[in-house]
Amino acid sequence: MDVTTLVDEERLDSFIHLIEVIDDHLPEGFEKTTDGQGVHYVVPLDRYPSGYHVTPGTPLPFISVIAQKRHVGLYHMGIYSDPELLAWFEQEYANRVPTKLDMGKSCIRFNNVKRIPFDLVGELVEKMTVEQWIQRYERSRG
């Protein structure tokens, strides 16, 4: 998978390293894809045929890494849906990173790619299995 077209040269090494960390720590069962805008980790349709309710017939998204104009965004749907996981991440980030966490509902924004806490990202990625993500997603859908 060629990611060199997804990010500018200044952030390319950190972007690639972030993808490698996710690859190394991601629980079995997720699938890595790209759409020309970012790298995505999804629950494949053969594992979860219902797919993503917003776009029927597409795999259930879990993590995405997308280079934006001013930051590299790590979108983690588990953080969005699990308050305990979010609280853990916020606390660990504050303990390990000297800069303030810049985050939306599911998007962790890394404005300075030299300060990405790769070890923390690895731990975060390990914390939710495919089965746990599917269960959480289904509960959120009611």
Task: Look at the alpha carbons of 105, 111, 112, 113 in this order and tell me if their dihedral is positive or negative.
Answer: positive
CATH of residue 25's domain is 3.90.1150
For residue 29, is it within any domain?
A: yes
Q: How many domains does the chain contain in total?
A: 1
For residue 1, is it within any domain?
A: no
For residue 59, is it within any domain?
A: yes
> Which run of H or E residues covers position 17?
helix 9-25
For residue 136, is it within any domain?
A: yes
Q: How many CA atoms lie within 13 A of 62 on its CB side?
A: 29
Rounded-to-integer distance, Cα 142 and Cα 123, Å: 29
> Which run of H or E residues covers position 113?
none
Rounded-to-integer distance, Cα 53 and Cα 8, Å: 33
- Domain holding 137, by residue range, is 9-141
93-140 pLDDT tens trace: 999 999 999 999 899 999 999 999 999 999 999 999 999 999 999 998
For residue 30, is it within any domain?
A: yes
> Is pLDDT at 141 greater than 90 in this prediction?
no
Rounded-to-integer distance, Cα 57 and Cα 39, Å: 19
For residue 2, is it within any domain?
A: no
What would the two tokens of residue 77 be? 């749907």
Rounded-to-integer distance, Cα 135 and Cα 132, Å: 5
Confidence band for 5, pLDDT divided at 50, 70 and 90: confident
For residue 107, is it within any domain?
A: yes
> Is pLDDT at 50 greater than 80 in this prediction?
yes
For residue 4, is it within any domain?
A: no
